[in-house]
Amino acid sequence: MSEFTRYLGRIASGAASLVSGMEVTIRYMFKPVVTVRYPRLRLDIPEGFRGPVELVTDPETGDHNCSACGTCARVCPSGVISVQGGKKKAAGQDGEGAKAPEDPFVITDSFIIDFSRCSLCGLCVESCPRKALRFSHMYEQCGTSRQVAVVDLVARQKALAAVGCEPAASRPGPQQQAAA
Amino acid sequence: MQGLMQSAAASLSPTVWTMVLGLVLSLGFVQVNALFLVWLERKVAAHIQLRIGPDEVGPFGLLQTLMDGLKLFVKELITPKPASWFLFVISPVLVFAPVLVPFVVLPFGQWLQVSDMPEGMLLIFAFASMTVFAILLGGWSSNNKYALLGAIRSVAQNVAYEIPLLLSAMSVVLMARSMSFQDIVGAQQGVWFVFYQPVAAIIYLIGATAETNRAPFDIPEAESELVAGFHTEYSGMRFALFFLAEYTNMFIVASVATALFFGGWRGPFADGPWWFLLKVYVLIFVVMWVRWTFPRLRFDQLMVFAWKYMIPVALANLLLTALVLKLVA
Amino acid sequence: MTPQAMLDPTHTLSEDTFYLNMGPQHPSTHGVLRLLLRLSGERILECDPVLGYSHRGQEHIAQNKTYLQFLPYPGRMDYLSALMFNHAHCLAVEKAAGIAVPERAEYIRVICAELNRISSHLLWLGAYLMDLGAFTPFLYCFDDREDIMDLLLPVTGSRLTYCYSRFGGVAKDIDETFVTGLRAFIKKLRGRLKDYDKLVNKNVIFINRTRDVGVISADMARAYGLTGPCLRGSGVAYDVRRAEPYSVYPEFAFEIPVRSGGDCLDRYMVRFLEMEQSLRIIEQALDRLPQGPVAPAKPVRVVKVPAGDYHCVYESARGQVGIYLVSDGGKNPYRMKWRVPSFSNLSVLPKLLVNTLVADTIAILGSVDVVMPEIDR
């Protein structure tokens, strides 16, 4: 008989556990959904977000602060950065010299970075002696070939400036996000 | 010639005509119902899981399933090379064909039933158990180990769960003294049978969930173990037919449950098919709710559950019913 | 049985057994594990795990990078506890090179590591339930995990493969928003854990699927070198945080959940209870969070490790991480051997799986909780 009562007890306790589980799911069913309707709505990207690096545009000169010292290229774990710089005599003519009195003659020709191999560790940004690099807030990156990810940041910055893009274009503010 | 046709038509009894009409209407209903049920399933699942679910196509995403169906329609039908071609192709048809027949006897309303056969309930169970043949054939002919395992599981499961299903339905038959759905629903004039037979109702619902291979009894297609079980190799419209059959089967077992235990088309006021459909969809919602709550049973536990718990309890319930009926009558 | 033997046409199979190739693209092998199973019906006679699908030679990479450059790599081993591996690497190098860490930085590291442990356990819990066929807890866990990510994102800058610790400190200080957000999260997660308890832990189906399945005895666990929840589920109260305390762990009061059965349910419960203990540690750390700098005044760029060999152990979400570092005094490590918990934990699998059912494979594999990139490195 005790075996039989245990049998009934197993049925009862099992059923009770199932009912309490169903109580949880039905309660959750009437909770508000957590999904954000991307791409109709976007989340705000917090300040510390590490997107692919970009050159900081100096508000005074409208140009970058890179002096092609190569610290970032040396520290990069994946070796994705290559910086080319040359000596240009006319400091001040292109506004570069004014910001860099200690080495006025070095001008960065190109700052090529391969985003496809970048691990966003942040060592380049931290090691830059002139704070010329920062993280962008871009997070939608796709391309049709690997070459798309290889970008010359200097050329891109020039191109952006040519079409009158604001320096902070890669960091959309909350208003832009809501509009999108 | 025309005369011949007319005489042929006249020689067919009106029953046949209603049956043909009923089947054609059922075919249409099956499609619309499946579209709605898939949408409902996805919405219920989404909201239980704090998601939105289909939302983009049509109002509330209602047309999402239609679009998915269209996509499946234009997809390539892949037949694996080592598959047994004929059986592989025929089994989606075999799984879909028997789900149409039960619509002949489903009592949507007092006047909305194709044909009220005296053995109507038996017909449904007979055809419901045919699905397993198609699943076995489909799984076996795919020549895929996962599909084969799924098919074998399906057969064992269906055999085990049909017994408690029938036993619990028999309790109701004993009370109504008929297998005709009209009689069964008619017998529930005052009180629904679920209040006389709560144990049978629960066993029927559990068995029906297992019979339709739904979670927590979805081991024939257990995706975390067997990839997709018996329909691993099926694609396009063939897969869609399996899918359609599953949702239609769900509707059928819920309809039978409604007729047997929940008073069919009867309601507190204005009896009619709307009550029937409302009850069916509420039952289906419960089945979905269960699916999105519980983990899956293991195969041997499923068998233990059927043979050691459901069948003895169903049998005891049937005997008790017979005894009480004998004493009261 | 080897993969070669399986392809060998002369290899004869008896009538009633067959091979099932599970993975590397199977939905529940968690990444790129491949299991060759010899089955009789659904019963497993033999199991042979095949590894190496995501081998990247990380230990060799370490030899060719400076200590600083290797910083992002450990987080790619066990990507689910990246902060902890990151922390472990920093601790090892700091210990070897004698770099002092400000107390505040160490507290922040512990807070983040414990958050990472919770998020790793939450993901495991959800994925395990999904393996067992319950899809809904998976999304609840991901909802909670999303909160952790939202908290860590402004601080660490990433959502999964964090690279946050630096030699001698952390990359960024935490702010008041983080602290208040974290306190709110702790409160929320405690409520959620109650729901999981009702939805999962007491569920009769779940208990039947996991109880007495894949039993590892304490001796067996020691013999195979299991660590972490797998060892503690077998009744051995070994946790590196207690056995060989590192960082600021000695300052916190917390318990080590131990269960004696050694089956899947016990491993599950150990992880489940560990989440609560991690919350306790975080609460204490937040209460006592010291003020001060989080990094040395002059960032450590070039690390000078005196010649010699060093060893550092760490308790990750999956068990004991051991770093054996050999230095010849140069800029790069001469050798950096990583002892990862998942590898040892997986090694017990072929023995556990014999004479179980296919469905149990999933339950056992999930309860061992392996992360393949960690094993393959």
B215 against C341, higher pLDDT: C341
Model confidence at B93, pLDDT cuts 50, 70, 90, reads confident
pLDDT average, residue stretch C164-173: 84
Model confidence at B83, pLDDT cuts 50, 70, 90, reads confident
For residue B253, what pLDDT is reported? 87
For residue C375, what pLDDT is reported? 84
Q: How far apart are CA B67 and CA C67, in angstroms?
A: 54
Q: Count CA atoms within 13 Å of residue C258 on its CB side.
A: 14
Which 36-55 residues of chain B touch chain A by CB within 8 A?
44, 46-52, 55
Residue C137 tokens, joined: 């807890």
For residue A101, what pLDDT is reported? 47
For residue B22, what pLDDT is reported? 76
Contact B149 C205 (CB under 8 A): no
The H or E element that residue C264 is part of is helix C264-287
Q: Evaluate whether A82 touches A112 at the Cβ level (below 8 Å).
A: yes
Interface test with B, best of A6, A28, A41 (most B CBs within 10 A): A28
Q: How far apart are CA C154 and CA C46, in angstroms?
A: 48
Contact B294 C130 (CB under 8 A): no
pLDDT average, residue stretch B166-175: 86
Residue C360 tokens, joined: 């149990």
Min distance B63 CA to chain A CA atoms (Å) = 19
Instruction: Name all chains with 3 or more CB-CB pairs below 8 Å to chain A.
Output: B, C
For residue B48, what pLDDT is reported? 87
Q: Which sequence spans correspond to the domains of chain C? A: 58-375
Which 259-318 residues of chain B touch chain A by CB within 8 A?
289-290, 292-294, 309, 313
Fold for A53-171, please state it.
Answer: Alpha-Beta Plaits (3.30.70)
Which 143-162 residues of chain B touch chain C by CB within 8 A?
145-146, 149, 153
Contact C140 A13 (CB under 8 A): no
The H or E element that residue B290 is part of is helix B273-291
For residue A91, what pLDDT is reported? 46
Instruction: Name all chains with 3 or more CB-CB pairs below 8 Å to chain C.
Output: A, B
For residue A96, what pLDDT is reported? 47
Contact C205 B222 (CB under 8 A): no
**pLDDT value at C13 more than 70:** no
Backbone angles phi, psi at C45, to 5 degrees: -95, -30
Q: How far apart are CA A62 and CA A165, in angstroms?
A: 11
Residue-wise pLDDT for C281-300, tens only, equals 998 888 888 888 888 777 77
Chain C residues in contact with B294 by the CB 8 A cut-off are 133-134, 203, 205
Q: How far apart are CA B253 and CA A169, in angstroms?
A: 59
Residue-wise pLDDT for C206-223, tens only, equals 888 888 888 888 888 888
Backbone angles phi, psi at C309, to 5 degrees: -120, 145
The H or E element that residue C170 is part of is strand C169-170
Q: Evaluate whether A84 touches A109 at the Cβ level (below 8 Å).
A: yes
The order of strands in the sheet holding C335-339 is: C308-316, C319-327, C335-339
Contact B224 C27 (CB under 8 A): yes
Size of interface A-C (CB pairs under 8 A): 74
Q: Evaluate whether B54 touches B42 at the Cβ level (below 8 Å).
A: yes
Of the candidates B228, B238, B213, the one whose C-alpha atom is nearest the C-alpha of residue B297 is B213
DSSP tag of B297: P
Residue B138 tokens, joined: 């489909």
Within its chain, how far is the Cα of B161 from the centroid? 13
Model confidence at B2, pLDDT cuts 50, 70, 90, reads low
Using alpha carbons, list the distances in angstroms from residue C68 to A121, C57, C107: 11, 18, 21
Contact B44 A28 (CB under 8 A): no
Contact C136 B301 (CB under 8 A): no
Q: How far apart are CA B292 and CA B307, in angstroms?
A: 25
Q: Which long-range contacts (CB under 8 A, 24 or more apart) does B273-282 make?
A: B273/B108, B273/B109, B273/B112, B276/B107, B276/B108, B276/B109, B277/B108, B280/B251, B280/B254, B280/B255, B281/B40, B281/B254
For residue B229, what pLDDT is reported? 74
For chain B, state the CA radius of gyration: 21
- Tally of CB atoms within 10 A around B35: 19
Q: Evaluate whether B95 touches B26 at the Cβ level (below 8 Å).
A: no
How does DSSP assign B138-166, residue by residue?
A: HHHHTT-HHHHHHHHHHHHHHHHHHHHHH
Which of helix, strand or coil describes residue C312? strand
**pLDDT value at C1 more than 80:** no
CB under 8 Å to B35, separation ≥6 — which residues? Answer: B65, B66, B69
What would be the CATH architecture of the domain defined by C58-375? Orthogonal Bundle (1.10)
Question: How confident is the prediction for chain B on average, in pLDDT?
Answer: 81
Residue C326 tokens, joined: 């050999």
Judged by a CB distance cut-off of 8 A, whether residue B290 touches chain C is: no
Model confidence at B261, pLDDT cuts 50, 70, 90, reads confident
Using alpha carbons, list the distances in angstroms from residue A111 to A79, B319, C257: 13, 86, 52
Q: Which of A11, A28, A37 sits opposite B48 (nearest CB)?
A: A28
Q: How far apart are CA C34 and CA C36, in angstroms?
A: 7
Residue-wise pLDDT for C140-159, tens only, equals 888 889 889 888 888 888 88
Which of helix, strand or coil describes residue C2? coil
Residue-wise pLDDT for C252-268, tens only, equals 888 888 888 888 888 89
Contact C154 A48 (CB under 8 A): yes
Alpha helices in chain C (DSSP H): 3-7, 58-63, 82-97, 103-131, 136-156, 176-196, 204-210, 218-223, 229-232, 240-243, 264-287, 341-347, 349-353, 358-368, 372-376
Model confidence at C244, pLDDT cuts 50, 70, 90, reads confident
Contact A48 C140 (CB under 8 A): no
Chain A residues in contact with B48 by the CB 8 A cut-off are 25-26, 28-29
Min distance B304 CA to chain A CA atoms (Å) = 13
Least confident of B189-203, B227-241, C4-18: C4-18
Q: How far apart are CA C360 and CA C209, in angstroms?
A: 8
Chain C residues in contact with B145 by the CB 8 A cut-off are 18, 20
Amino acid, single-letter form, for residue A1: M
For residue B224, what pLDDT is reported? 65
Chain C residues in contact with B209 by the CB 8 A cut-off are none
Pick out chain A residues at pLDDT < 50: 90-101, 168-169, 172-180
Min distance A139 CA to chain B CA atoms (Å) = 23
For residue B12, what pLDDT is reported? 61
For residue B13, what pLDDT is reported? 67
Question: What is the DSSP pairing of strand C308-316 with strand C319-327?
Answer: antiparallel
DSSP tag of C374: H
